[in-house]
Chains A and B, each alone.
Chain A
Amino acid sequence: MTGETSAPAVPQQNSRRERIAFAIGVAGWLVPGLGHALMKMWGRAVACFLTVGVLVILGAGMRGNVFNSSGNDAFDSLGYLADLGTGTFYMLARALERDGSDVSRAEGDYGTRFLATAGVLNLLAALHAYEAARGRKA
């Protein structure tokens, strides 16, 4: 009898946990480090926020290419996806780069890599937060 009453509760708990984990992953993507902060992993939260933030500020400061949705080829589209990985920091990068990109110089080219790396790094951190919220070892 006890088994009959408690059995449906387990899938419900799993479903709820999965939804919370997904929300934490999305939060971590939108604001770098927020996913870990919601789970009180303060060191990781601060590290993610600072490293992604520094890479975005340096990348935009070096006048790297901040890709937009109207890309001409696959590389532009991939660059846009990578840049979007920074979440709200994508808007920060666009706001910081008032004069537009300049990839004719080495700094601009490096800046493009810095921005893309910041996005991919933030996606990795968000995925890490999602997995940790699901109860995987983190």
Chain B
Amino acid sequence: MNVGPGFKLTHLQAMLLFALAISIAFGFLSRRKPIERVKYIVWSLFLFLLIGVGIGWAMYPFSR
């Protein structure tokens, strides 16, 4: 990651940051208790990454 005039992130880094930010926001907005929030954040993050990587592999045959 090169932080200069513009952030240069790899695809995976961008997806990780995006998924983490959204999962944290969803966790805090939809749950009250801290333990429930943590569970929701971890589960949401896992599903974001799983589905993101899954869609990536599903598109692989059409990439060239």
Contact = CB atoms under 8 A, between A and B. Distances in A.
Given A117-B18, A124-B29, A125-B29, A107 B6 contact: yes
Contacts, number: 56
A77 interface: no
Interface stretch (A4-12, A14-22, A51-59, A82-90): A51-59
Q: Determine the main DSSP class of B at the interface with A.
A: helix
Contacts of B14: 62, 107, 110, 114
B6 A63 contact: yes
Nearest to B41: A47
A44 interface: yes
A128 to B, nearest CB: 5
B7 A61 contact: yes
Given A58-B7, A99-B5, A107-B7, A121 B28 contact: no
B21 interface: yes
A128 B29 contact: yes
B28 A48 contact: yes
20 contacts: A43-B28, A44-B28, A47-B27, A47-B29, A51-B22, A51-B25, A54-B17, A55-B18, A58-B9, A61-B7, A62-B6, A63-B6, A99-B6, A102-B6, A107-B9, A107-B14, A110-B9, A113-B18, A125-B29, A128-B29
Interface of B: 3, 5-9, 11, 14, 17-18, 21-22, 24-25, 27-29
